[in-house]
């Protein structure tokens, strides 16, 4: 009472110690957690102990400082730790420039498919198409022998001529920091490397230099006991990212990693230290600001080298907890459905990869995204090289970056254009005689359907009907409605995706390809030089389910204050676009045809006895003109058909009968989210580690079914991000 309220005269009249020195240092915040839709923690934090060097206690005298640095370096090595430096110069003479120190590549960089380009040889005078296209791998120059960006940064920081050699750089550090000739060349190089680390980490009173991470207690005690000699050394507790469940949407969760020297200039302005970690991919990167929180500040007062007072000047604000739209139990069921299908219906080992995307049809929220092969984030952190060398690239996110020919699933878009533009109505019929001639070219259909209207044409996937409709529409109208469905654009999902590409003269011109008149009717059946992601195709299904209203897909359901249930943000559904309807009946015929298509299923995969109706459309585009056995299998759909709750899409690379997965998807959705009035009952199963379809070399079982394929007669091939695309099918 006397000191704090009444006031103490002695304290009030005290004069500041003239030997006192006060500096401000940063107190890092705790990174927010990531949870699934049910609140199960997927990524959290652990505490670790790091050894750091603090400038306030480090010798100002250069010679003494060099002695301390070398002693610390040697002591760390004796305890089994290595000081991590980023100087792009070799440790031993003769000095050469090197690649700067980096950890495993960012997930977004690692998970890419080889770049390919089309090489077309045209046949002069052909009215419909050029000769068959071959593909060639695009030339990718080898990486430089050293990190040019890091080297240029070093030369600039050391104020050297742009033509400086590695020896010039080391000599400059030796001269600037008075590193004595009494040290061996190796010792001089070690000290120079540590001094350079001080430069790029902005070593100051507010920024400590990290010497070693996750240090064991014995090493901490040994180093602290000699702190009078290792001046400036201190042990600090630091939060470390901990993966709780690495098997749930690993591509979308993403990774955190160290800040590379070349990134630091930009991140430093945002308050980062070089020793910090930052989101590198997925949700970890997309919501970096929310997850990171805000660091606090402390004012530290020293008198004669001893701390006499610490005062908080800015409170730490922990990062926010991110809750996703994905239920972990459904995600695991979805992954199992995909991988089980690949084992059962592998077409003798041809089908080895695929993807499934499930959306909430009422909001666009992502309910599940499975890609096969896949991986566990824990395995990525522990053994990146093994994953990198695994067959079929499990690091590649096929859901959002795989670009596939849509095949006959695209006919729903062509039907929308025809009905809405008034070119056809529900009773308009076109003849189908199995063979269709167009400008001298011969095109085929799987059936001889006679005169057929749009609803039945969607059900049986009649090519002839859609050839004639596409010819009447023209490529501009086909492009217009593809755009209205969001194709050719990024969806806006938080973690990013491929925009896809359309089949039209503009795209061909950009790629240096010739455009032929026969491509118009092939574009209308999703059969010619275009590529869309499974996420985009699921959103097409969602747009049909909502009769022209297109939602923006999203992964983040809500944000909460760390360690509490206090909601700070709830994601609201966003309408990304509307297809203005000229006729009210447009979607009646499209949805009717998709409902009819859902009835053609073997009993064990039946969609007719679920207690509600389902609407689907399938596609089987060929991926190699010369080898008709090479194809993909796709589907899109939604349920219940009249009051949609869930929309979905799937692709199997090299497969068939992918629609046989739909029953399992809907059953799993009912268990985990509820559908058509049912209540969810599923719980989160144990984590899955090790072993995916990536290691699968081919089954002895091949699936059978009654579905028929349409083998078109297009004479071209192109390359999408994942597969070479050619013709179409049901």
Q: Residue 146's pLDDT is what?
A: 82
The string of DSSP codes covering 241-258 is EEES-TTSSHHHH--EEE
**Does 29 score more than 90 pLDDT?**
no
**Helix (H/G/I), strand (E/B), else coil: 554:** strand
Close Cβ partners of 182 (under 8 Å, ≥ 6 residues apart): none
Whether 424 and 397 have beta carbons less than 8 Å apart is answered as no
Note whether 417 and 356 are same-domain residues: yes
Note whether 549 and 606 are same-domain residues: yes
Q: Is residue 11 part of a domain?
A: no
Note whether 311 and 355 are same-domain residues: no
- Among 51, 50, 53, smallest CA distance to 65 is for 53
- 20-34, 331-345, 597-611: range with lowest mean pLDDT: 20-34
Note whether 351 and 281 are same-domain residues: no
Note whether 302 and 416 are same-domain residues: no
Note whether 331 and 319 are same-domain residues: no
Max Cα distance, the chain (Å): 106
What would the mean pLDDT of 165-189 be, rounded to a whole number?
A: 97
Whether 581 and 422 have beta carbons less than 8 Å apart is answered as no
Of 298, 323, 348, the residue that ends a domain is 323
pLDDT tens digits, one per residue of 286-336: 999 999 988 778 788 878 767 788 888 888 888 999 999 999 999 999 999
Query: What backbone torsions phi and psi does residue 477 show, to the nearest 5 degrees?
Result: -70, -40
**Does 276 score more than 70 pLDDT?**
yes
Note whether 331 and 316 are same-domain residues: no
CA-to-CA distance for 245 and 268, rounded, in angstroms? 31
Q: Is residue 109 part of a domain?
A: no
Q: Residue 396's pLDDT is what?
A: 95
Note whether 207 and 249 are same-domain residues: yes
Q: Decide the pairing of beta strands 353-360 and 646-653.
A: antiparallel
Give the range with max mean pLDDT: 266-275, 326-335, 382-391: 326-335
Own/partner long-range contacts of 641-644 (Cβ < 8 Å, ≥24 apart): 641/591, 641/594, 641/595, 641/598, 641/612, 641/613, 641/614, 641/615, 642/613, 644/361, 644/362, 644/542, 644/545, 644/546
What would the mean pLDDT of 590-603 be, rounded to a whole number?
A: 95
- 160-164, 233-237, 374-378: range with lowest mean pLDDT: 233-237
Close Cβ partners of 15 (under 8 Å, ≥ 6 residues apart): none
Q: Residue 132's pLDDT is what?
A: 34
CA 198 to chain centre: 34
Q: Is residue 578 part of a domain?
A: yes
Name the H helices within 641-706: 662-672
Q: Is residue 123 part of a domain?
A: no
What would the mean pLDDT of 479-494 be, rounded to a whole number?
A: 98
Q: Residue 115's pLDDT is what?
A: 35
Of 273, 307, 323, the residue that ends a domain is 323
What would the mean pLDDT of 566-588 be, rounded to a whole number?
A: 97
Note whether 642 and 524 are same-domain residues: yes
Burial 58-86 (b: 16+ CB within 10 A, else e): beeeeeebbbbbbebbebbeeeebebebb
- Domain CATH code at residue 355: 3.40.710.10
CA-to-CA distance for 663 and 660, rounded, in angstroms? 7
CA-to-CA distance for 335 and 247, rounded, in angstroms? 10
Q: Is residue 1 part of a domain?
A: no
Residue-number span of the structural domain to which 495 is assigned: 325-725
- 118-122, 489-493, 585-589: range with lowest mean pLDDT: 118-122
Q: Is residue 129 part of a domain?
A: no
Note whether 342 and 307 are same-domain residues: no
Q: Is residue 121 part of a domain?
A: no
Of 323, 342, 362, the residue that ends a domain is 323
Q: Residue 283's pLDDT is what?
A: 97
pLDDT tens digits, one per residue of 648-672: 999 999 999 999 999 999 999 999 9
Average pLDDT, the chain: 86
The CB density around residue 609, as the number of other CB atoms within 10 Å, is: 7
- Domain CATH code at residue 177: 3.90.1310.10
The CB density around residue 480, as the number of other CB atoms within 10 Å, is: 15
Whether 432 and 465 have beta carbons less than 8 Å apart is answered as yes
Note whether 329 and 374 are same-domain residues: yes
Strands annotated E in 589-698: 615-619, 632-639, 646-653
Q: Is residue 107 part of a domain?
A: no
**Helix (H/G/I), strand (E/B), else coil: 48:** strand
pTM of the model: 0.84
When divided into structural domains, the chain yields a total of 2
Retrieve residue 507's tokens.
Answer: 């795209």
Note whether 269 and 342 are same-domain residues: no
**pLDDT level of residue 136 (50, 70, 90 thresholds):** very low
């Amino acid at each position: 009472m006397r000191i704090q309220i009444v006031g103490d005269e002695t304290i009030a009249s005290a004069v500041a110690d003239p030997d006192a020195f006060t500096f401000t240092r940063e107190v890092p915040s705790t990174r927010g957690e990531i949870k699934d839709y049910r609140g199960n923690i997927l990524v959290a934090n652990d505490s670790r102990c790091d050894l750091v060097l603090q400038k306030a206690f480090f010798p100002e005298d250069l010679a003494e400082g060099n002695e301390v640095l070398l002693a610390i370096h040697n002591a760390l090595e004796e305890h089994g730790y290595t000081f991590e430096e980023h100087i792009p110069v070799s440790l031993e003479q003769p000095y050469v420039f090197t690649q700067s120190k980096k950890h495993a590549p960012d997930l977004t960089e690692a998970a890419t498919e080889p770049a390919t380009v089309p090489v077309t040889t045209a046949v002069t005078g052909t009215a419909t198409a050029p000769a068959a296209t071959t593909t060639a791998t695009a030339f990718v120059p080898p990486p430089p022998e050293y990190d040019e960006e890091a080297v240029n940064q070093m030369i600039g920081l050391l104020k050297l001529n742009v033509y400086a050699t590695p020896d010039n750089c080391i000599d400059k550090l030796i001269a600037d920091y008075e590193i004595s000739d009494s040290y061996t060349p190796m010792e001089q190089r070690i000290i120079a490397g540590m001094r350079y680390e001080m430069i790029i980490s902005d070593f100051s009173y507010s920024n400590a230099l990290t010497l070693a991470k996750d240090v064991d207690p014995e090493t901490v005690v040994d180093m602290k006991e000699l702190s009078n000699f290792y001046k400036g050394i201190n042990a600090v507790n630091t939060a470390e990212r901990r993966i709780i469940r690495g098997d749930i949407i690993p591509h979308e969760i993403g990774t955190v990693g160290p800040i590379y020297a070349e990134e630091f200039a930009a991140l430093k302005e945002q308050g980062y230290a070089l020793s910090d970690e930052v989101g590198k991919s997925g949700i970890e990167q997309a919501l970096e600001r929310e997850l990171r929180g805000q660091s606090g500040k402390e004012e530290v007062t020293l008198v004669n080298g001893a701390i006499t007072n610490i005062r908080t000047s800015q409170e730490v604000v922990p990062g926010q907890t991110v809750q996703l739209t994905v239920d972990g139990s459904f995600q695991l069921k979805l992954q199992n459905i995909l991988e089980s299908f690949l084992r059962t219906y592998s077409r003798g080992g041809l089908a080895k990869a695929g993807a499934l995307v499930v959306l909430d049809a009422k909001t666009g929220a992502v309910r599940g995204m499975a890609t096969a092969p896949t991986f566990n984030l824990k395995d990525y952190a522990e053994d990146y090289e093994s994953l990198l060398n695994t067959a079929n690239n499990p690091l590649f996110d096929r859901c959002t970056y795989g670009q596939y020919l849509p095949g006959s699933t695209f006919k729903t878009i062509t039907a929308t254009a025809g009905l809405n533009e008034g070119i056809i109505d529900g009773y308009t019929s076109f003849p189908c005689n199995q063979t269709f001639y167009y400008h001298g070219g011969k095109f085929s259909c799987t059936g001889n359907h006679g005169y057929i209207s749009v609803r039945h044409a969607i059900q049986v996937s009649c090519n002839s009907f859609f050839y004639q409709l596409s010819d009447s529409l023209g490529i501009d109208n086909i492009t217009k409605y593809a755009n209205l469905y969001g194709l050719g654009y990024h969806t806006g999902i938080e973690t990013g995706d491929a925009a896809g590409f359309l089949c039209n003269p503009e795209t061909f011109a950009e790629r240096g390809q010739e455009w032929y008149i026969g491509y118009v009717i092939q574009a209308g059946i999703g059969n010619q030089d275009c590529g869309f992601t499974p996420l985009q195709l699921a959103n097409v299904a969602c747009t049909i389910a909502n009769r022209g209203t297109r939602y923006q897909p999203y992964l983040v359901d809500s944000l909460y204050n760390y360690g509490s249930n206090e909601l700070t943000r709830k994601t609201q559904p966003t309408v990304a676009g509307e297809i203005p309807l000229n006729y009210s009946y447009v979607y009646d015929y499209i949805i009717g045809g998709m409902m009819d298509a859902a009835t053609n299923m073997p009993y064990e995969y039946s969609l007719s006895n679920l207690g509600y109706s389902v609407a689907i459309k399938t596609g089987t585009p060929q991926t190699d003109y010369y080898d008709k056995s090479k194809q993909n299998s796709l589907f899109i759909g939604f349920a219940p058909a009249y009051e949609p709750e869930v929309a979905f899409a799937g692709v199997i690379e090299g497969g068939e009968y992918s629609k046989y997965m739909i029953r399992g998807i809907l059953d799993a959705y009912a268990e985990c989210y509820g559908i058509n009035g049912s209540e969810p009952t599923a719980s989160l199963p144990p984590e899955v580690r090790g072993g995916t379809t990536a290691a699968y070399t081919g089954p002895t079982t091949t699936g059978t079914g009654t579905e028929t394929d349409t083998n078109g007669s297009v004479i071209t091939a192109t390359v999408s991000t994942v597969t070479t695309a050619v013709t179409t099918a049901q």
